[in-house]
Amino acid sequence: MLSLHRRRSARKTTPARITAAALIGSAATVATLVATDIVPVPSWALPGVDVASHQHPGGVSAIDWQAVAASGQKFAFIKATEATGYVNPFFSTDSFKAQEAGIMPGSYHYAKPSIGSARAQARYYAATLATGPQPSLPPVLDLEESGGLTVAQLQQWVREFVDEIRAQTGRDPIMYTYYSFWIDKMGDTTEFSHLPLWLAYFSDTLPDYIPGGWDEPTFWQYSDSGSVDGIQTKVDLNEYNGDDAQLQALAKSSPSGTMVGDVAHDLAPVREATGEEAQVANKIEQATGVDIPLTNDFLMLLLGVAGGRIPPEALIDQGAKELEKQARDIDTDELAAQGAEMAENAQTAGGEAQAAQAKNKTASGATGAAGAETGAKAASPHASANAQKESRSHTKKADNSRAILSALTALSGALKDINANGKEIPVDALLAVVQKSPNGIKVGDLLKLLQTFEESQDWNAMLSNGQVEANPNALQNLAQIATQVKVAPAGTPLPPEAVQRAISAAAAH
């Protein structure tokens, strides 16, 4: 089972205000604290936030980035990766939405020195950055765990990560850490003082002594329990020690000749798209075809592989995590709500027939059945509600997983047909459609678009009719077939006739 980390683990134990008692580790440390004066942050510093999947409660609630911007936030660091096994499913969409709202986007990698090498983690992080916006703030090494390494070993680990992320992105990273960690676990080394510092120090003021040889932090995280318009949960609050011009100057694009830079160059036509393709996605009827939405992040990965910009392993690894989340979250919410209301009325009136009607109405959705069972409890007062809920959850996930695997098999079939006939696909134009579609694109709609490139089997119809089997290797097959796609030259638009046929086909249903 994939574990989605709700917040940075260090926050669970770090107090709101760091005190001498919390930082005691050596006589030198105590002496430093006793002698410490405090310096207030400049009044002209710029405010910003850092977010992760925790800021999307329930895995579905969106961040209103326009409201975040209106509240005065100037930058946002968005969690990208952790170790070599976790990608924030909201990284790409949050990053682009923040950028479109006028907020400077940044990212961070939560380091796990006990899991995998530093270079492997840096490459994993860089592969995810390749799907993010440019320009952006420098990559961030979020260092809060030692992983049981000695001071010398951890210093070497950091040294290798910095070297590798620089090679992959062409940029020096920002070092995120908290006050006592750098002193105790990194030996207060000054080796990395040439890098920008993002210091976690939960207080109203900064300490006079900044560890690690830094004169001052570039970013200061002063709270982990702030409130910001547009974000439904508590959120980390930060200040940038500079003005707007300096913040803009800090944000750059990765240069050509680096993995991230080359991908950014290839995606330039997508970022410069006028939005004409976005109108296509809005016109296509979303209620037709198979009702399985593909998240923007998954489609970005798929089209990235098709365009030769991202290795197929990234789709297999990161895409699997996206799809596992979907298998848990796909729901018939409207039917569930209606069923719950009908069942409640049935319980109030003692009407077993109405409860049965509610159960029938919601039978197509596992969660909908939960509403009907409210009215059925009177007939079986000793039934185990928890056991029934768990059973429904397993059934729902299994059904959703089969549906997703069938959908991926259909996508593979459509791409395979196009490849076999040597047709080119305007990947950049499709990427623009995805990027401008906040709610993602459903499988049926994508299959309709793909069919317009090559008259072949109607994979959407076959999928809708249950004629496509759920292949357990569907994701691996899709990744392999995507690498064989012939890509139309950058800037090639979607063929007008293809767009019109897709819209007409959708409207006909």
Catalytic residues: 50, 142, 144
Q: 215: Cβ–Cβ under 8 A, 6 or more apart, which residues? A: none
| Tokens linked to 447 | 């299959």
Q: 459: Cβ–Cβ under 8 A, 6 or more apart, which residues? A: 410, 411, 413, 414, 417, 447, 450, 451, 468
Q: 458: Cβ–Cβ under 8 A, 6 or more apart, which residues? A: 451
How many whole angstroms separate alpha carbon 426 and alpha carbon 304?
Answer: 12
Tokens 């970013």 belong to which residue?
A: 219
How many whole angstroms separate alpha carbon 189 and alpha carbon 212?
Answer: 5
Residue 395: Cβ within 10 Å count: 12
DSSP string, 198-225: EEE--SSSEESPPGGG-SS-SEEEEEEE
How many whole angstroms separate alpha carbon 20 and alpha carbon 318?
Answer: 42
How many whole angstroms separate alpha carbon 373 and alpha carbon 352?
Answer: 11
DSSP type of residue 59: G
For 256, how many CA atoms within 13 A lie in the half-sphere containing its CB?
4
Q: How far is CA 353 from the centre of its chain?
A: 45
